[in-house]
């Protein structure tokens, strides 16, 4: 069934407003974000008022009701500014909401959709010190509470985006030692961050993306009621997580595309202003080659984004396509920011110029929501499965 999303005219007006907001409000505030390693509180409040934390939540529950194609456009536009601005709301929209939509009970939707649409911040607890892509090594456990119908969670999660600010976490935990089918031992739990036994480590120091925060989440005898189990069934958590990761990967692909465009625009301006041998370096053909290659790759990523999001909104299985888009867009962004440093020359290595920041910020896109290498394996697995099914 096709997801039509927001009315086209209304969405066009929203995007026009958003583009102005990015240019006039977010980009000018970037120096403050970097200096303080935090988004100003008034900007976070403005983003909540604009509905950015509930973009894909249905309108009946207080959200904007965007479809995936529209959501990706918003992410791409927001990602033209510092990555922290996207990071603060993207887990809500791309992962937490997706998991609620795909696996939540009616009661869970009724409780959590209005809360995240109003601006409560979510985090997504999958990765652990000893497991990331390998769910079989997951050590966090959820055991039935002997005193009631709930669960007791113990374990820790690592590299959790937004953990220091989050109001709620979606925690993946082992509910059985092993189970069939594969990964049926993992279940998902909706856990408010103020639940006794929940604690957050100090924010990790990172290579880039100032203003976004990543930290460990520790669970020490965390008691949750039975209704915290996503979907009301054990053994479905990993599937819900993977489905939401498809949405998260589209978000990262869109962010990579938007940030690559920002970097290229910066390099184009610099190349026209920087003089060498009595003329702008933009006149030199090898500079033009780097500009042209970058524009071409961004265009290809935009075309992939349009295709994969249209497939999602038509209800197709897009595991392979979402992985391919994320791989291409994130690797593309890495190549673009590398060229941008080269175009800036010596200035590109100095922290006072944007090129150096673009280079550091972009590196994580190739790692989180599935590394390039893990996603390549996933793409190949689906290719081979499809080929074998066809012969």
Question: What is the token pair recorded at 260?
Answer: 């690559």
In three-state secondary structure terms, 222 is strand
Burial (CB count <10 Å: 0-12, 13-18, 19+), residue 202: exposed
Q: What is the DSSP string of 89-134?
A: HHIIIIIIHHHHHHH--HHHHHHHHHHHHTT--EEEE--BTTBSS-
In three-state secondary structure terms, 199 is strand
| Bridge partners, residue 280, by sequence | 275
pTM of the prediction?
A: 0.94
Q: Give me the pLDDT at residue 244, please.
A: 79
Ramachandran angles phi, psi of 219, nearest 5°: -120, 115
Q: Give me the pLDDT at residue 258, please.
A: 98
For residues 108 and 232, give the distance between their C-alpha atoms in angstroms, rounded to a whole number: 9
| Bridge partners, residue 169, by sequence | 123, 191
Length of the chain: 391
Contacts of 79 (CB under 8 A, 6+ apart): 85, 86, 254, 255, 256, 257, 258, 259, 262
| Dihedral angle, C-alpha 367, 370, 376, 379, nearest 10 ° | -160
Residues designated as active site: 369
pLDDT along the chain (391 residues), means of 10: 85 97 98 96 96 93 94 97 95 87 92 94 91 77 90 96 95 82 82 97 95 96 95 84 84 97 98 97 98 98 98 94 98 98 97 97 94 96 95 84
Q: Give me the pLDDT at residue 177, please.
A: 79
CB 103 within 8 A of CB 236: yes
Q: Give me the pLDDT at residue 352, please.
A: 94
Question: What is the token pair recorded at 18?
Answer: 């958003």
Q: Look at strands 122-125 and 168-174 and give their pairing.
A: parallel
CA 265 to chain centre: 23
Q: Give me the pLDDT at residue 179, please.
A: 63
Q: Give me the pLDDT at residue 246, please.
A: 84
Q: Give me the pLDDT at residue 181, please.
A: 64
Question: What is the token pair recorded at 165?
Answer: 């600010």
Q: b/e per residue, 348-367, with b = 16+ CB within 10 A?
A: beeeebbbbbbbebbbbbbe
Burial (CB count <10 Å: 0-12, 13-18, 19+), residue 391: exposed
């Amino acid at each position: 069934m096709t997801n039509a999303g927001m009315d086209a005219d209304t969405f066009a007006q929203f995007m026009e407003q958003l583009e102005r907001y990015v240019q006039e409000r977010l980009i000018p505030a970037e120096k403050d974000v970097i200096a303080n390693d935090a988004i100003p509180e008034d900007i976070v409040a403005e983003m909540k008022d604009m509905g950015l934390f509930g973009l894909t939540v249905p309108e009946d529950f207080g959200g904007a009701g965007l479809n995936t194609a529209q959501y990706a456009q918003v992410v791409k536009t927001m990602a033209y500014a510092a990555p922290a601005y996207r990071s603060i709301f993207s887990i809500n929209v791309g992962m937490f909401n997706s998991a609620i939509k795909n696996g939540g009970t009616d009661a869970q939707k009724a409780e959590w959709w209005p809360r995240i649409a109003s601006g409560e911040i979510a985090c997504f607890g999958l990765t652990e010190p000893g497991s990331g892509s390998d769910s079989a090594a997951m050590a966090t456990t959820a055991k039935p509470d002997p005193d009631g119908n709930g669960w007791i969670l113990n374990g820790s999660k690592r590299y959790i985006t937004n953990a220091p600010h989050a109001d709620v976490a979606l925690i993946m935990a082992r509910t059985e030692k092993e189970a069939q089918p594969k990964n049926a031992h993992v279940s998902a739990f909706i856990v408010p961050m103020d639940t006794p036994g929940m604690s957050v480590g100090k924010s990790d120091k990172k290579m880039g993306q100032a203003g976004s925060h990543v930290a460990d989440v520790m669970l020490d005898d965390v008691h949750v009621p039975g209704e915290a189990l996503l979907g009301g069934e054990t053994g479905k958590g990993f599937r819900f997580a993977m489905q939401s990761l498809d949405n998260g990967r589209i978000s990262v692909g869109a962010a990579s595309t938007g940030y690559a465009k920002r970097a290229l625009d910066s390099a184009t301006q610099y190349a026209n202003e920087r003089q060498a041998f009595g003329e702008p370096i933009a006149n030199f053909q090898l500079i033009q080659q780097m500009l042209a290659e970058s524009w071409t790759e961004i265009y290809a990523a935009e075309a992939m984004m349009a295709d994969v999001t249209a497939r999602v909104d038509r209800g197709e299985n897009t595991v392979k396509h979402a992985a391919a888009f994320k791989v291409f867009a994130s690797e593309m962004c890495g190549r673009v920011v590398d060229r941008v440093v080269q175009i800036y020359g010596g200035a590109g290595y100095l922290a006072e110029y944007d090129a150096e920041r673009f280079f550091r910020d972009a590196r994580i896109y190739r790692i989180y929501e599935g590394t390039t290498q893990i996603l390549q394996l996933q793409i190949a697995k689906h290719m081979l499965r499809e080929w074998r099914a066809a012969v």
